[in-house]
């Protein structure tokens, strides 16, 4: 099964901090690293390292060669990535001493997707293919409408949530993968069980995966519901943990594995990602995840 991901590519400027800077405060960082990231690229790398057949689409600027290298190094088909005259997107990420982060995004080239470009890419895809989206590129309503019209199964990670998502026809989404904050923003409810019930009322044909941070993850559709606890690790950087979960979940689902198996594999992959620094560099490969699952 082919998975097309039209998604963001960000250069992540990651600052290690004692604490996340408060409004009006100036604080010195303890360290700085630059990693490839962006929810789109992180999820493509997670898909590919999990074993999926991945096609990445989106826009970079002349400073974005790194992303073509990441694709080449991970077996991701990069032929749909366009290099345009706009700066590559970037993110300023602060990581505090408890591994929590705060992220400031600059969309740059990620927000230069055009209808012509979408039509050109989707011309090569149709029924039997999967489209994965996040909310870091522009034109999501158009992309969703066109992909749905062509019969693709659409998986949406509505992250980061903002008002632009209100223009997306969510009835066309087959799989939602979201965290509690996004679930609360979409439903107006904040307890995880309430979020699931409400989302299934709103989108009864959809499959929902709700990640709950340290409290694990829940899968639900109209017929079944499963809970997966986290695997405890010493967290150093939670960036891309959700992206890793998303990539592994979608891969397992496309392989036809059972939902409990898919959830377990995804949780293990995410736990490994949080034990390492960076976005793309933290995402484990399938063999490592499977080996770690055998350990007690
Ligand atoms: O999900 C983590 C990602 O969010 C980072 O890599 C950053 O680029 C932002 O898009």
Residue-level pLDDT, tens digit, the chain, 296 residues: 999 999 999 999 999 999 999 999 999 999 999 999 999 999 999 999 999 999 999 999 999 999 999 999 999 999 999 999 999 999 999 999 998 899 999 999 999 999 999 999 999 999 999 999 999 999 999 999 999 999 999 999 999 999 999 999 999 999 999 999 999 999 999 999 999 999 999 999 999 999 999 999 999 999 999 999 999 999 999 999 999 999 999 999 999 999 999 999 999 999 999 999 999 999 999 999 999 999 97
Which residues are tagged catalytic?
A: 243
Q: Answer whether the bond into residue 160 is a cis peptide, omega within 30°.
A: yes
Q: Determine how many CB atoms are found less than 10 A away from the CB of residue 160.
A: 15
CB 273 within 8 A of CB 284: yes
Measured distance CA(43)–CA(4) in Å, rounded? 11
Q: Are strands 175-179 and 153-157 parallel, antiparallel or unpaired?
A: parallel
Q: Residue 33 C-alpha to ligand 1 middle, in angstroms?
A: 14
> What angle, rounded to 10 degrees, do the helices at 39-50 and 286-294 form?
70
Using the 8-state DSSP alphabet, how is residue 85 labeled? Answer: S
Using the 8-state DSSP alphabet, how is residue 180 labeled? Answer: H
What are the structure tokens assigned to 25, written together? 């405060």
pLDDT of residue 94: 98
Residue 90 alpha carbon, nearest atom of ligand 1: 8
CB 126 within 8 A of CB 181: no
Q: Residue 161 C-alpha to ligand 1 middle, in angstroms?
A: 13
Helix, coil or strand: residue 133: strand
* Residue that has been written with the tokens 């740059």 in this structure: 108
Decide: 90 in ligand 1 pocket, CB within 6 A.
no
Helix, coil or strand: residue 8: coil
pLDDT of residue 112: 98
Decide: 238 in ligand 1 pocket, CB within 6 A.
no
Fold of 2-8+37-88+108-294: 3.40.1190
Measured distance CA(255)–CA(224) in Å, rounded? 19
Edge-first strand listing for the sheet containing 225-228: 77-83, 53-60, 2-6, 130-134, 153-157, 175-179, 207-211, 217-220, 225-228
Atom 5 of ligand 1: nearest residue by CA position: 38
pLDDT of residue 27: 97
Atom 7 of ligand 1: nearest residue by CA position: 38
pLDDT of residue 67: 98
pLDDT of residue 72: 98
Write the DSSP assignment of 218-284 as a string of letters.
EEE-SS-EEEEPPPP---S--TTHHHHHHHHHHHHHHHT--HHHHHHHHHHHHHHHHTSSSSGGGPP
As a residue count, the chain comes to: 296
Residue 280 alpha carbon, nearest atom of ligand 1: 6
Residue 35 alpha carbon, nearest atom of ligand 1: 6
Decide: 17 in ligand 1 pocket, CB within 6 A.
no
What are the structure tokens assigned to 140, written together? 């999501």
């Amino acid at each position: 099964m082919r998975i097309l991901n039209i998604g963001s590519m960000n250069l992540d400027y990651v600052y290690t901090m004692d604490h996340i800077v408060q409004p009006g405060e100036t604080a010195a960082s303890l360290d700085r690293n630059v990693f490839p990231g962006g929810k789109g690229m992180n999820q493509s790398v997670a898909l590919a390292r999990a074993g999926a057949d991945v096609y990445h689409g989106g826009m970079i600027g002349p400073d974005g060669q790194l992303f073509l290298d990441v694709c080449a190094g991970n077996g991701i088909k990069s032929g749909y990535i366009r290099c345009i005259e706009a700066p590559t997107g970037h993110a300023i990420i602060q990581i505090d001493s408890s591994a929590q982060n705060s992220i400031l995004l600059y969309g740059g080239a990620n927000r230069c997707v055009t209808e012509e470009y979408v039509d050109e890419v989707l011309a090569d895809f149709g029924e039997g293919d999967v489209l994965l989206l996040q909310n870091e590129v522009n034109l999501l309503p158009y992309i969703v409408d066109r992909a749905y019209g062509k019969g693709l199964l659409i998986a949406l990670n509505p992250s980061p949530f903002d008002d632009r998502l209100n223009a997306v026809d969510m009835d066309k989404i087959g799989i939602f993968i979201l965290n509690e904050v996004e679930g609360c923003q979409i439903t107006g409810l904040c307890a995880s069980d309430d979020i699931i019930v409400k989302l299934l009322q709103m989108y009864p044909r959809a499959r929902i995966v709700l990640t709950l941070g340290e409290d694990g993850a829940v899968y639900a559709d109209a017929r079944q519901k499963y809970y997966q606890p986290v695997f405890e690790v010493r967290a150093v950087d939670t960036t891309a943990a959700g992206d890793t979960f998303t990539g592994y979940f979608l891969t397992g689902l496309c392989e036809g594995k059972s939902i409990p198996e898919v959830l377990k594999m995804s949780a293990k992959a995410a736990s490994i990602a949080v034990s390492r620094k960076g976005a793309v560099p933290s995402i484990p490969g399938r063999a490592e995840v499977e080996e770690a699952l055998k350990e007690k």
